[in-house]
Amino acid sequence: YVFQSRAFGGFWGFTLLMSGFVIWILQWVALSGWLLAYLGFAPLFLGLGATLGSTALSAVGVWFTSANGIIITSILNAFLSMVLLVSGFKNYVKVQYVMFYGILVAFATTLIVLFTTPAAEFVARLNAFAVASGGVQNFYQTAKDAVVAAGIDLNPPFSLLATLLVAPIAWTSVQWATYSAEQNGEIKEARSFKNQVFILVGSLIVTGILLALLGWAFERVGGTEFVYIAGAGYWSLIPEANIAGFNLWPNILAIALTASPLVVILIAFGYILNSFQIVNNCYIGVTRIMVAMSLDRLLPEWFSKVNERFHTPVNAHLAYFLASIPVILAYNLVGGWIGLTLGVTFACGYVFAASSLAGALLPFRAKEVYEASPGAKYKLGGVPWVTILGGLGAVFGFAMVFAYLLAPQLGVLGNWNFADFPRNLWAQIIAIAIVVVSAVWYFAAKAAQKRRGINVDFAFKEIPPE
């Protein structure tokens, strides 16, 4: 927010971040709760139930997939995150170490299971897990027959377009490696260019490598045909290609292929921690944006008040927690809610792309701010490196964003079906409406401050205090 508002001006900085992050990331708070219940606790108890032969444990796992189970888990997830972050960032950092190493252990365990399971035993083990989880006897063949009956080709010819359209999905998966920029004010030596390269570029590289390894392991154990079957269960909503209502995610597959309760616990515990870190990062990033907006006088001063005891913006955390509750309820109780909120991927994407553009323009739009930064000395032929790399990032990023907006194959906002208007365009209408509401909010806040004799434009000429 800070750099976009300083590079583009208050209107664009506020509108893009209020719409793309502050409002839309409420959906991520709800999603993190779903992930915690559905991909954390449910697989834990279902996996233990299957490996230990306990129907009681399996029943607990099924409860975590119910609406009530997910809602209760989601609200507790958000509440505990708020309490942790309000208590002080040092406490979060301590928990973060546990989450970091726990997630790495789970990821490594998943890779080991997928790489070491003999491909010849894959179908038999998967079928056995399906039966133990209350599924059909011959799961793999049943799933395959259902997918083929739905008209899906399990051996499709090469498609350049389909290959290129994987790029936006991959971009969305790795872009969050740069999210630490939201809390740079609380990271030691964040002004160090070397540290930022290590944190941001290093995270992108490691994330890319890990995702590539996971994809390789997934296909090695099940084969290309299985990848299409698993994809059809998720993308085409074919119920026969799911086990007990679960899509065949890598962690579900790894749990299905092992008969070890210890492995089940290690994998599930990692996904539980991962879901919890998501909601923490939702709060961390957005509350810092809200504080900065408040300091710029575009949000009430109440949001930027720092608690004297905890030295944290308690009000901002409390407001975001309360705002997340109706979204959590809607996510799990309102039919078609996920289809109505497909804009979240598009919206978060344009924030990242706009950040690249802001970096490219910063040396020219906010010269004094840029020249005071440690990266100002890096140039190529007199052109700032941040302009070159930011420009390339913006071009690539906005290409991904427009793909989500125009390509129906991605299932985001690209299906512009005007038949029976507006019924088939509610996702697009909601995405546009959130941008409009954010823009109106900016002008209303600016006008309110002007009536008090305050010109908020002056705020965008300097960096707010850390």
State residue 3's pLDDT score: 83
Which residue, among 33, 21, 18, 20, has the nearest Cα to 330 in the 3D structure?
33
State residue 194's pLDDT score: 80
Q: Which helix (H) or strand (E) holds 71?
A: helix 67-86
Q: Which helix (H) or strand (E) holds 351?
A: helix 343-365
Measure CA 111 to chain center. Answer: 22
Measure CA 395 to chain center. Answer: 22
Distance of alpha carbon 394 from alpha carbon 401, whole angstroms: 10
This prediction has a pTM of 0.91
Which residue, among 167, 147, 40, has the nearest Cα to 103 in the 3D structure?
40
Average pLDDT of the chain to the nearest whole number: 91
State residue 192's pLDDT score: 74
Angle at alpha carbon of residue 245, lines to 242 and 246, rounded to 5°: 65
State residue 153's pLDDT score: 94
Distance of alpha carbon 245 from alpha carbon 70, whole angstroms: 14
Q: How much of the chain, in percent, has pLDDT values that exceed 70?
A: 98
State residue 462's pLDDT score: 73
Q: Which domains does the chain have, with CATH numbers?
A: 2-461 (1.20.1740)
Distance of alpha carbon 179 from alpha carbon 280, whole angstroms: 12
Angle (deg, nearest 10), helices 261-295 and 42-52: 180
Where do runs of H (alpha helix) occur along 18-41? 25-35
The answer, yes or no, to whether residue 112 has pLDDT greater than 80, is: yes
Task: Count Cβ atoms below 10 Å from residue 112 Cβ, excluding itself.
Answer: 15
Query: Of the given ranges (26-40, 112-126, 188-202, 286-300), which has the lowest mean pLDDT?
Result: 188-202
More confident of the two residues 84 and 186: 84
Task: Count Cβ atoms below 10 Å from residue 449 Cβ, excluding itself.
Answer: 17
Q: What is the pLDDT of residues 296-319, one digit of tens each?
A: 999 999 999 998 888 899 999 999
What proportions of the chain, in percent to the nearest 5, are helix, strand and coil?
Answer: 80, 0, 20
Mean pLDDT calculated for residue range 94-114: 95
Residue 396, C-beta contacts closer than 8 angstroms, at least 6 positions apart: 171
Tokens describing residue 274? 């991962």
The answer, yes or no, to whether residue 328 has pLDDT greater than 80, is: yes
Distance of alpha carbon 274 from alpha carbon 96, whole angstroms: 10
Distance of alpha carbon 316 from alpha carbon 302, whole angstroms: 8
CB 26 within 8 A of CB 321: no
CB 39 within 8 A of CB 251: yes
Where do runs of H (alpha helix) occur along 184-313? 193-196, 202-235, 250-257, 261-295
Distance of alpha carbon 1 from alpha carbon 430, whole angstroms: 22
